[in-house]
Amino acid sequence: MNSPLRFLLCFILLIGCTDEHKLTFEPLIVSDNDCIECPNISIEIPRALEQSKLTETINSALEEELISLLIFDEEIEASSISEAIQSFKNGYSELKKLYPDETAGWEAKISGAVSFENKNMITIALNSYLFTGGAHGYNTRSFLNFNKQKGKEVENWELFKDQDHFENFAEVKFRIQEDIPQDNPINSTGFMFEQDEFYLPENIGFTEKGLVLLYNQYEVASYADGAIELVLPYAEVKKYLAKKVKSKP
């Protein structure tokens, strides 16, 4: 076998080995802006293609997240994305009946992407922007973590060997990043942690840069402060993690 052909074969085998643990996704795209008086709804999230317990779990979890974001009409118990979209539209219609001079249209933009994947874990980040009137819209980001071996979604506490020890470590790092003296109350510089005590955010996820702790708007600070994000390199957090994770899976 000549050298160029041997090199090409080795390269193909290398790529195959590198990607063999990666799931296959296609974009699920939903757009609903069929009339001038309707809310502008745009959705683009990944949808897993393989038939397995893991892919069913991922797709179901993403659908549930979309429904929870869009549900607005309490009279509709949405069990599908289309029903949730109708709920959102109904909410806007009811508002227009009460306030016919209201000119601001509602808007929902939701997108998602795989932020991390190795043989053990996969994380999908979901970004959303919702505007339902008022002075401004609301941006959120959420992480969904999945155990690939067990085919199940992972709760935050399951990410760590000992969550309390990790929380103590995270607080030190948070104080350093936000210039909060270690001996002062956590809210001494203007944060709004309940009971003036540090706690982990609802959204924790894996990315190529490291483990992300994400406090969305209003969670621990004012709207003007935006989301507060703490990125912890894997070299610093690996001893706390329940599963082995590398920055380059």
Question: Which residues on neighbouring strands pair with residue 25, listed in sequence order?
Answer: 48
What digits encode the pLDDT tens for the residues 12-30?
444 444 455 789 999 999 9
Q: Which tokens go with 51?
A: 């038939």
CA distance 71 to 89: 9
The rounded Cα 72 to chain-centroid distance in angstroms is 21
Q: Do 208 and 115 meet the contact criterion of CB atoms below 8 Å apart? A: yes
Q: Do 73 and 111 meet the contact criterion of CB atoms below 8 Å apart? A: no
What digits encode the pLDDT tens for the residues 199-220?
999 999 999 999 999 999 999 9
Work out the mean pLDDT of the chain and round it to a whole number: 88
Local structure of 184: helix, strand or coil? coil
Residue in 107, 81, 75 with CA at minimum distance from that of residue 94: 75
State the CB neighbour count (10 A cutoff) for residue 64. Answer: 15
What digits encode the pLDDT tens for the residues 148-187?
999 999 999 999 999 999 999 999 999 999 999 999 999 9
Residue in 63, 211, 201, 210 with CA at minimum distance from that of residue 140: 201
- Annotate 204-237 with b (16+ C-beta within 10 A) or e (fewer): bbbeeebbbbbbbbebbbeeeeebbebebebeeb
The rounded Cα 49 to chain-centroid distance in angstroms is 20
Question: Which residue segments constitute the domains of the chain, with CATH numbers given?
Answer: 23-154 (3.30.565.40), 156-249 (3.90.640.20)
Q: Which helix (H) or strand (E) holds 10?
A: helix 3-19
Confidence of residue 105 (pLDDT cuts 50, 70, 90): confident
